């Protein structure tokens, strides 16, 4: 990516097998599979690719809902000792920003400590690690600048507070960590950004308005995160970064491959189209009002 915008991502790399069906099977039911495809994947690698397509040099390269079953394999064997290897150490100590994802929590904690100690911006997206609960993640949250989670991961932070809605959970987290900015992705509803006592809702993208169709939502959150972190690194205001990240996640949903995040040129082109569409059909782009309702 060059030396101007150095970004390190710590997270999993996998090989994905994607099975496409008309609908999910009920318990005990058998349904036909339309096709099986294999793609390179893993949340950490997906985010790194999404970021590279924004920060790096340009290169050619049903309903769409998902269920994901992950075997972490070698990813789960990562230890703090791996961070001390010269090549790894450089990638943690030299960048301007580090994105820490679903590495084992102790590894993530140490990487964040090292990065924060050198003045780097820390973006934490614990993903499946949210199952460990907020208390387990506290040491990392104290050092992180941004916490990025999806709707399910947000709920995992407070598993015993089912009566509290998403907005309430976001306010609880940021009240406990006032220096933290929390970004929650809300699927087609967009995302919510909470920090310094203020919550802002950033409108989602209806891909149908761009003449596209949702085919596979696997990897949308990774595209969002990679693009969000990249535009923060490019010194965009946080809400502008979130707007572009929303669009990147939506565009990924229109592609079958897990790493289907758009290039910067593609993102700029679709953003221009989206702005024209929204000018014709005005809707609130950024709202500080009511929590967005789920689409039926």
- Provide the domain count of the chain: 1
248-262: pLDDT as tens digits:
999 999 998 888 899
What is the Cα–Cα distance from 296 to 294, expressed in whole angstroms? 6
* Residue 290 belongs to some domain of the structure: no
* Residue 294 belongs to some domain of the structure: no
Indicate which CATH number applies to the domain containing 177. Answer: 3.40.1190.20
Q: What is residue 295's DSSP assignment?
A: P
Q: Which of 175, 136, 139 is nearest to 156 (CA)?
A: 136
Query: What is the model's pLDDT at position 70?
Result: 43
CB 14 within 8 A of CB 68: no
* Residue 292 belongs to some domain of the structure: no
| Average pLDDT of the chain, as a whole number | 81
Q: Which domain holds residue 111?
A: 7-22+35-281
* Residue 105 belongs to some domain of the structure: yes
Does position 117 have pLDDT exceeding 70, yes or no?
yes
Residue 74 token pair: 């070698």
* Residue 288 belongs to some domain of the structure: no
* Residue 188 belongs to some domain of the structure: yes
Q: Which of 14, 32, 21, 39 is nearest to 256 (CA)?
A: 39
What is the Cα–Cα distance from 223 to 256, expressed in whole angstroms? 13
120-150: pLDDT as tens digits:
999 999 988 888 888 889 999 999 999 999 9
* Residue 286 belongs to some domain of the structure: no
Q: Where are the alpha helices (DSSP H) in the chain?
A: 43-55, 80-83, 86-93, 105-117, 134-143, 151-157, 166-176, 220-233, 238-252, 264-280
* Residue 139 belongs to some domain of the structure: yes
Computed over its alpha carbons, how large is the radius of gyration of the chain?
A: 19
Q: Burial level of 249, CB count in 10 A (0-12/13-18/19+)?
A: buried
């Amino acid at each position: 990516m060059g030396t101007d915008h150095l970004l390190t991502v710590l997270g999993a790399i996998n090989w994905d097998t994607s099975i496409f069906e008309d609908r999910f099977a009920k318990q005990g039911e058998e349904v036909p599979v339309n096709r099986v495809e294999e793609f390179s994947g893993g949340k950490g690698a997906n985010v790194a690719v999404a970021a590279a397509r924004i920060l790096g040099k340009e290169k050619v390269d049903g309903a769409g809902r998902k269920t994901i079953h992950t075997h972490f394999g070698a990813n789960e064997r990562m230890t703090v000792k791996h961070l001390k290897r010269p090549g790894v150490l450089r990638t943690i100590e030299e960048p301007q920003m580090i994105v820490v994802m679903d590495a084992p929590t102790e590894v993530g904690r140490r990487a964040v400590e090292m990065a924060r100690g050198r003045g780097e911006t820390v973006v934490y997206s614990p993903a499946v690690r949210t199952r460990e609960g907020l208390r387990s993640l506290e040491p990392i949250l104290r050092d992180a600048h941004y916490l990025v989670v999806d709707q399910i991961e947000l709920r995992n932070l407070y598993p015993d507070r089912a009566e509290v809605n998403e907005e309430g959970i976001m306010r609880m987290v940021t009240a406990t960590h006032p220096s933290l900015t929390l970004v929650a992705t809300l699927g087609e509803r967009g995302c919510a950004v909470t920090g310094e006592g203020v919550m802002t809702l950033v409108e989602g993208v209806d891909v149908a308005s761009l003449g596209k169709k949702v085919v596979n939502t696997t990897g949308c959150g990774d595209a969002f995160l990679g693009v969000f972190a990249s535009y923060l690194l490019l010194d965009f205001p946080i809400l502008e970064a979130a707007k572009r990240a929303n669009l990147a996640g939506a565009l990924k949903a229109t592609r079958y491959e897990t790493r289907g995040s758009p290039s910067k040129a593609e993102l700029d082109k679709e953003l221009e189209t989206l702005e024209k569409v929204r000018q014709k059909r005005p809707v609130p782009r950024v709202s500080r009002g009511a929590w967005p309702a789920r689409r039926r």
